[in-house]
Amino acid sequence: MNDNVTAMMLDLASLESVREFAGKIDVPVYALDNNAGISGSSSGQTVDGLDPVFQSNHLGHFLLTNLLLPKFDKNFCRLLTLEEFSAQINGTRKDDFFFDIRGFQRALHIG
């Protein structure tokens, strides 16, 4: 165990959890790696009423990054954000988060 490392719970599928997590950070942030996510096996909606894949893979990271920006070290901070390949192919439509307009196809939209 390293005294300089602390494990904390974060649920990217809950915007409240993201806010709570960011509120507990009381040290300068030197690096943030937005790489966690889920595949298309989840269905339904999150407690926030959003698609769980979209919220966990995109909105949760976006909110976390914005909340932590003021805590980034002013002299040096690295930010890395990764996304799955299918997001690059199919894009995100702000008018169709739940695929009501274009329909959901697992192979195309999840990869």
Residue 81's pLDDT is 78
Give the whole-angstrom CA distance, residue 97 versus residue 51. 7
Prediction pTM value? 0.72
Residue 24's pLDDT is 96
Averages of pLDDT over runs of 10 residues in the chain (111 residues) are 84 95 94 77 80 84 94 88 58 58 49 40
Inter-residue contact 56 to 12 (CB < 8 Å): yes
Sole residue written with tokens 């920006």 = 69
Residue 106's pLDDT is 44
